[in-house]
Structure 1
Amino acid sequence: MRLINTIKLSLVLIGCLSTQIAAKDYFVEDQQAFNDIAANLLAGDKVILKNGTWSDFEILLQGQGTKNAPITLTAETHGSVILSGQSNLRLAGQYLEVSGLVFKGGYTPSSAVIEFRRDKKELAYHSRVTNVVIDNYNNPDKRESDYWVALYGQHNRFDHSHLVGKRNKGVTVAVRLNTPQSQQNHHRIDNNYFGYRPTFGSNGGETLRIGTSHYSLTDSYTLVENNYFERTNGEVEIISVKSGKNTLKNNVFYEARGTLTLRHGNGNLIEENVFIGNGVDHTGGIRVINKDQIVKNNYLEGLTGYRFGSGFTVMNGVPNSSINRYHQVENATIENNTFVNVRHIQLAAGSDAERSAVPINSTMSNNLIVNQSGNQPFTTFDDVTGLVLSNNAANTNVLDELAYGVEKQDIKLKKAKNGLFYPVSKKLNVGVKRDLKVLQKEEVGVSWYPKTPALTAFDSGKTINVKAGADALLNAIENANTGDVLVLAPGQYDISKLVKINKTLTIKAKKEGQSKLTFQRSTLFEIHDGGSLKIDGLSISGENAPDAIGNSVVRTQKWGMIENYRFEMTNTEINALDINHSFHFFVTGKGAMADTVVLNNNTFNEITGDVLRLNTEIEDLGVYNAEYVTVTGNSFKNVKGSLVKLYRGGSDESTFGPHFEMKNNTLNNVGLGKRNKEKASIYVHGVQVTNIENNEFTNSAPIVVEHTVGEPITKVLKNTFKETPAPSVKELRVEGPHTAILENNNVINEGQ
């Protein structure tokens, strides 16, 4: 018997040795050379791509490697092989490994940039993609959906990679369970850097999704660990778990708007994750839905989100729910989590006529809840007796119905070496474990590619003085670097060309009001991808604009913007936008998305159109044109259109905004033009957060607010309406009285 075993072992060793001897290294200099060898790669073969830019290169790595002799494809130097144009990568077979590539300067021609399959029949197994970068590799049509990474098959790994700047529709990384060969897959997604994903402005902006609702009762067994999510703001679900038996462990979410959502599927484990919000709007934590979920030893701090994006949410379900709606929370275990300055913990959230199945057979124990503001964070929306609380500690009183399971204590916190807050008293044995390892950003992704800031701040570059005159200004704009400030000398600037803004730029007057800009084209400034514009202290007149309909001072690219932008204007005079009708100040193109639009301390006189026209997404698909619109301290006089038209249609619940704030403005004769179809001085449709306060309206059209979905927060407070109708608020989708708060407004109609 010993002799037979020795012979078998010898044969195995000889087989391994022969495989290693037969393996080849291929140094590939062009696509044809790769295609010549691609179909005949054997276990142990290594393909090395020559440094340089490879355009329109669709790579298919296929073959049957082994555990000890995988087939590999790598860059000559990691980071020096650039896949641009319409390039992608597919893997099909066993034990394949790819590393060192960078995708930028283009977009995938297929459904994914990296795909662990050749087609529906040929998948990848026991394969790995590591140390790759995908940087702003976006389809120019923002609404065209694709994945950056799509995992199929089983036992695959995506790790130590850097993904930043996904701007078109579609999940950044998706685990697909659409065939039996991709279920119970045991994939591993680890040690990746997920960088900035801007607010998408509709559904379809998740960073990671595991499964889909159709296969959500199937188990995936995917492990997601040691990943860093920084400002992944696409939509309300940063991670959408839509399958069962997954583990999400030791991930960090830094200033990330949205939540880790257990949207579908049962029996998932969420542990030792860290959520740091730093008070940023809509930063969230964990949302619990479905059966047998375990949420333990997670640390959540400085989170401001509410409703479905709150710091912690336990949802109501739908009785006998269809597979794509909300299954009841049952047998959830929520224990040993720490909540520090988490503004909202919401239980039985989403309760309504449809979502009436309250949480049952669930526990919430040994959690630490500290709010230094002194405000207790809990909100209950339905019966929560099926969620039993025990041995939780808080520094505030909580709701009476929860007080039986939350003890108020005098809790002093101290920051530990791992950067987290713990009770000074070690006798208080609740909350996250004291030796929790906190992942650092430097530990993830690749070492050879920088993790640069998401946005260039205004006024962060050089200050450049510009002599009076159009040519001097145009040359300065052309030669400026992003972040620069152009300071205009006093004088006249009559611009004969459309000025394209494709960088972050500030244009300001050296002496406020003494630099006058006029323009001879249909618009003065047009914002393109990469562009953000700040205007300060100028005087802008439409007196030299064409005698045509539909002029504007600022507009975005008319169609096809993929990058979000910012626009700010302060201390500026806008006059004579009246050479013909429908002369607007600011007009958004279709598909354009503003992170911020800010008007502060400006004067607007004689305008035949609208001031802010942010209403091109009229298909009612939950899409909109601006996240934050802020109007403070301005004067508007003789504006025939509306001050703002801000529109978000549809019934989608996955977005944060729009947000509209308007304070301390004066409006005189605004909104009364015959072409103002909305017949409103302010028209906001489907806006999620509206705050209109301390403004004075004189002889103007009314405020018109239309609620469409969710639980919008609308406040109209302390305004004066002289010869102006009172505000109008309508609920377009929900029966009953409107939910807006209208208080301390003064309506003065002397003619009545």
Structure 2
Amino acid sequence: MYKSKIFQSIFLSSLLLLVTAACQQTTAKSWLVTTQAEYQAALDKVSAGDEIVLSDGTWKNFEILFKAQGTQENPITLTAQTKGKVFLTGQSNLRLAGEHLIVSGLVFKDGYTPSSAVIEYRQNKNNLAYHSRVTEVVIEDYSNPDKAENDYWVSLYGKHNRFDHSYLAGKRNKGVTMAVRLNTQESQENYHQIDHNYFGPRPILGSNGGETLRIGTSHYSLSNSFTKVENNYFDRCNGEVEIISVKSGKNQLLNNTFFESRGTLTLRHGNGNVIENNVFFGNGVDHTGGIRVINKDQIIRNNYMEGLTGYRFGSGFTVMNGVPNSPINRYHQVENALIENNSMVNVDHIQLAAGSDAERSAAPLNSKIQNNLIFNENGQQPFTLFDDVSGIAFKGNITNSKPLAEIAEGFQVKELRLERAENGLLYPVGESIGADKTIQPIAKSATGPSWYAKNVEETAFGSGKEIQVKGNGDDLFDSVIAAEDGDVLVLAKGNYNVRKTLKVAKTLTVKAAKNTDVVITFERGTLFEISDGGSLKVENLTIDGVNSPDSSGNTLIRTQKWGMTQNYRFVMHNSVVKNLDINHSFHFFESGKGAFANLIELNGNTFTNITGDLLRLDKEIEDLGIYNAEYVTLADNRIENVSGALIKLYRGGTDESTFGPHLNMSNNQLTAIGEGKRNKTKASLYLHGVQVTNINNNTVVNSAPIKVEHTVGEPKTSIANNQLSQAVSVVELRVEGPHTAELSDNKIVNK
């Protein structure tokens, strides 16, 4: 009898809950709003289970505060009338505060946030979001026009929040794309979930502050976050050396795919994190990396890494040295790391005790590297040891190359044959070692909103239509304006005198018709200006400075002087540039402050009689680790009578978060370079802080010396097989002892 009454009571209680829920569902309201005022009126009335629907169209300068109290059973929803057709533009953003809130279907484009974040899980420091979800939202190219201005696209606060199935691509200004904030107790041990998102291409920032995801900060790094990051796709996230920066404890990063992304998943601060079932596809792209290990109790298990070329802090796999008794913001010693059952296939560099120097002298302790597969098709062993690694126990690893003697006991060398399995990964035939076949790499198509296309390819030169240009300079000017992204202007034979500066705000090629002589003169101080969104390729033209104004400081080609957020490319092939000498300091190319070139390439050109510099890439003089160009290439050019420097390439400061600049020079014929009295560097080439330099097979006659100044990192400088008129000068500005440049087979010949 007693049990029967209990069951009856439970039944009645359950029935009451079902009836109550049903009543709430039938009374839930939906407001379709068309103005900001209507939105605010609806927000003032919502209760659990209700939804606010933003009408399709463009909402400009809309700072949305979504503050409400839902329940687990009946959350409050803010959504688009049609997902993907509600656009937040101008100075718009979104803040969530309260409990059990859901936001979906919104697109942020054509503007930037006026506050510190585009989407923020809080109203202010006292009103946070809990148990709330943002799903199927898009933030694309929503960057502050001041590239140095710091903001986030998504800031997670509070507890038990989720961000999923969203699309974030094209952040160009300083600041983390997505950050989990732990700066108050209310946001620590948060158990957030970040899943099924498409983190699209993040362009090279050219400075620190370009992480795609950060969990915590150094100040709160000894706190635990318990954030789970799983099933996300990181596509060419190239902002800086840390793709993901983990700066807190007890996080899980599971089953994420990294595609051709420069940098690493970095365990920068915090202890007890688990990195498992992640896949890294480098495909041989420059500076692609895997995992970097710092701090205590980290577990790195069952990850797959393939085709990674990165080195040093961006290596395929890195275990760092720490700082003894490290301050909270430096490098804590690696201790009790478990690195097991990972596959490293065609990974160029595995670096242990990396960063070892007078400060970072604490080698790893009590750690294990076991049951991993290390395979390189070229047979080269990938390990570099920078300090004592006796604190790492190596056991049960298999490799196809001869390991270093210091770690050989932990490796079995075998001839291996790898086959690609159904999951797209390579496995050794007949061996059970490394990552297992349960890994299912998350596909790009399985991330982000299903209704938003992932069209994020860079426009290629020559990918558009050809436009025939016949006539004078005004016709050329009009054609530049009328052209669309990727178009090619084909100039008919003749002399084009250009009266106005040609402003290039798209990807554009300007070339002479086949087997045709085209001469361009110009009457302004600048012929071409590359502005935001622009890239320029010049082919088979003759450009003559004879009609330029008689004033100092002219520049044939320059970028926008200030305010560029989009990286650009400049390419010149098989062209002639002459007579930039009507007055002193007439330069060929000059970067504006804040402008950043992914590529500058000069190939097969002739340059004569220039009173200034050829390439001026030295505008970032604050020594903050910022620079103006990633890759600079000069090949097969003939360059004569340049009073200034051939190249001024500058990267100052002590920051170690970037990869460049890179300079490649080969097979150039250089005569009378850098001897002008206004060339303050007194150099034919002035390279300060350049990280990768290859200068080979050039002939340099009657010219100033090459000057190289090494700063931070481990710069790679190779100057070989050149005929030079003076000895190369290399100075180490940060490291004591002899310079590290490789100088070989250079001949000093004065002609």
Give TM-score, length-normalised by structure 2. Answer: 0.98
d(CA) in 2 for partners of 1:727, 1:364: 43
Partner amino acid, structure 2, of 1:556:
T
- C-alpha separation in 2, matches of 1:20 and 1:416: 48
Is the contact made by 1:464 and 1:486 (CA closer than 8 Å) also made in structure 2? yes
Partner of 1:747: 748
Alignment of 1:64-463 (within 5 A): 64-425=69-430, 428-463=431-466
**AA matched with 1:567:** F
Q: Does residue 569 of structure 2 align to residue 566 of structure 1?
A: yes
Contact 2:701–2:749 (8 Å) recurs in 1: no
Aligned residue number for residue 28 of structure 1: 33
Does the aligned pair in 1 maintain the 2:573–2:602 contact within 8 Å?
A: yes
- CA distance in structure 2 between the aligned counterparts of 1:277 and 1:506, rounded to whole angstroms: 30
| Structure 1 residue matching 2:123: 3-state secondary structure | coil
Task: Tell me, in whole angstroms, the C-alpha distance in 2 between the residues paired with 1:581 and 1:105.
Answer: 42
Alignment-mate amino acid for residue 205 of structure 1 = G
Q: Residue 492 of structure 2 contacts residue 516 of structure 2 at CA under 8 Å; is this kept in 1?
A: no
Partner of 1:468, secondary structure, is coil
Say yes or no: does 1:715 pair with 2:718: yes
The answer as to 2:456 corresponding to 1:470 is no
* Residue 640 (structure 1) aligned to one of 638, 643, 648: 643
Alignment of 1:700-711 (within 5 A): 700-711=703-714
> Does the aligned pair in 1 maintain the 2:168–2:198 contact within 8 Å?
yes
CA distance in 1, matches of 2:720, 2:143: 43
Change (3 A) 1:628 1:174: same
Contact 2:720 2:746 in 1 (8 A): yes
In 1, are the aligned partners of 2:240 and 2:262 still within 8 Å (CA)?
yes
**Partners of 2:482 and 2:231 in 1: how far apart?**
43
- Aligned-partner Cα distance in 1 for 2:297–2:230: 20
Give the distance between the partners of 1:570 and 1:749, measured in 2 at CA. Answer: 29
Asked if 1:606 corresponds to 2:609, the answer is yes
Distance 2:652 2:672 in 1: 28
Q: Is the 8 A contact 1:294 1:332 kept in 2?
A: yes
Q: Aligned equivalents of 2:44 and 2:627: distance in 1?
A: 47
How far residue 39 of structure 1 moved from its aligned partner, in angstroms, is: 3.0
8 A contact 1:490–1:511 mirrored in 2: no
In structure 1, runs of 5+ residues without a counterpart are none
- Residue 676, structure 1, aligned to residue 679, structure 2: yes
Q: Find the residue that maps to 2:546 and give its secondary structure.
A: coil
Once the 2 structures are TM-superposed, how far is the Cα of residue 481 of structure 1 from its aligned partner?
1.7
Task: Measure how far apart 1:21 and its partner are.
Answer: 3.6
Confirm or deny: 8 A CA contact 1:145 1:169 kept in the other structure: yes
Alignment: residue pair count: 746
C-alpha contact (below 8 Å) 2:616/2:647 kept by paired residues: yes
2-side partners of 1:276 and 1:410: how far apart? Answer: 23
Checking the alignment, whether the CA contact within 8 Å between 1:664 and 1:694 is kept in structure 2 is: yes
Deviates more, 1:437-446 or 1:30-39: 30-39
Aligned partners of 2:488 and 2:510 also within 8 Å: yes
In 2, Cα distance between the equivalents of 1:138 and 1:119?
22
CA distance in 2 between partners of 1:520 and 1:189 (Å)? 56
> Contact (CA 8 Å) 1:301, 1:342: kept in 2 or not?
yes
1:512·1:537 contact (CA, 8 Å) conserved in 2? no
Give 1:12 deviation, angstroms.
2.9
One-letter code aligned to 1:727:
V
- Residues in 2 aligned to 1:43 and 1:511: alpha-carbon distance in whole angstroms: 70
1:474 aligned counterpart, secondary structure? helix
1:49–1:74 Cα contact (<8 Å) kept: yes
Contact 1:513/1:539 (8 A) holds in 2: no
- Distance between the aligned counterparts of 2:28 and 2:552, measured in 1? 70
TM-score by length of 1: 0.98
Question: Any conservation in 1 of the 2:250–2:272 contact (CA below 8 Å)?
Answer: yes
Matched with 1:539 is: 542
Q: Distance in 1 between matches of 2:334 and 2:722?
A: 44
Shift of 1:7: 4.4
What secondary structure does 2:158 align onto?
coil
CA distance in 2, matches of 1:453, 1:486: 25
**CA distance in 2: counterparts of 1:296 and 1:194, whole angstroms:** 23
C-alpha distance in 1, partners of 2:23/2:681? 79
Q: What amino acid does structure 2 have at the position aligned with 1:682?
A: L
Helix, strand or coil at the partner of 2:143: coil
Moved over 6 A (4+): none
Q: What CA distance in whole angstroms lies between the structure 1 residues aligned with 2:102 and 2:494?
A: 63
d(CA) in 2 for partners of 1:31, 1:365: 59
For 1:521-600, what aligned pairs fall within 5 Å after superposition? 521-600=524-603
Shift of 1:10: 4.1
Contact 1:513 1:573 in 2 (8 A): no
Cα drift, residue 365 of structure 1: 0.6
Q: Taking structure 1 as reference, are residues 77 and 651 closer, same or farther at Cα in structure 2, changes over 3 Å only?
A: same
- How many Å apart are 1:465 and its aligned residue? 2.1
Matched, 1:61 2:62: no
Deviation at 1:553, TM superposition (A): 1.1
Structure 1 CA distance for aligned equivalents of residues 433 and 728 of structure 2 = 50
The structural deviation recorded for 1:8 is: 3.4
Find the aligned partners of 2:267 and 2:619 in 1 and give their Cα distance.
33
SS in 1 for 2:393: strand
Query: What letter matches 2:14 in structure 1?
Result: L
The yes-or-no answer on 1:659 pairing with 2:662 is yes
Measure, in 1, the Cα distance between the counterparts of 2:522 and 2:750.
40
Using the TM superposition, give the Cα deviation of residue 664 of structure 1 relative to its aligned residue in structure 2, in angstroms: 0.8
Q: How far off its partner does 1:9 sit? A: 3.1
* 1:698 aligned residue: 701
Question: What amino acid does structure 1 have at the position aligned with 2:653?
Answer: G
**C-alpha distance in 2 between matches for 1:71 and 1:728:** 67
**Alpha carbons 1:171, 1:205 under 8 Å: kept:** yes
Give the secondary structure class of the aligned counterpart of 1:72: strand
Question: How is 1:725-736 mapped onto 2 (pairs within 5 angstroms)?
Answer: 725-736=726-737
**Deviation at residue 604 of structure 1 after TM alignment:** 0.5
Amino acid aligned to 1:594:
A
Q: 1:418: how far off?
A: 1.2
Who is 1:626 aligned against? 629
Any idea what SS the aligned residue of 2:547 has?
A: coil
CA displacement at 1:304 relative to structure 2: 0.2
Which of residues 492, 495, 498 is equivalent to 2:495?
A: 492
**How far apart in 1 are the matches of 2:700 and 2:478?**
42
Amino acid at match of 1:540: I
In 1, are the aligned partners of 2:474 and 2:499 still within 8 Å (CA)? no
| Cα separation, 1, equivalents of 2:512 and 2:687 | 33
Mapped to 2, the partners of 1:513 and 1:467 lie a distance apart of 12
Q: Is the 8 A contact 2:104 2:137 kept in 1?
A: yes
Tell me the secondary structure at the aligned position of residue 32 of structure 1: helix
- TM-fit CA distance, 1:38: 1.9
Is the 2:199–2:234 contact (alpha carbons within 8 Å) kept by the matching residues of 1? yes
Cα drift, residue 693 of structure 1:
0.7
Distance 2:534 2:64 in 1: 33
Amino acid at match of 1:123: L
Alignment-mate amino acid for residue 702 of structure 1: P
**In 1, Cα distance between the equivalents of 2:716 and 2:410?**
31
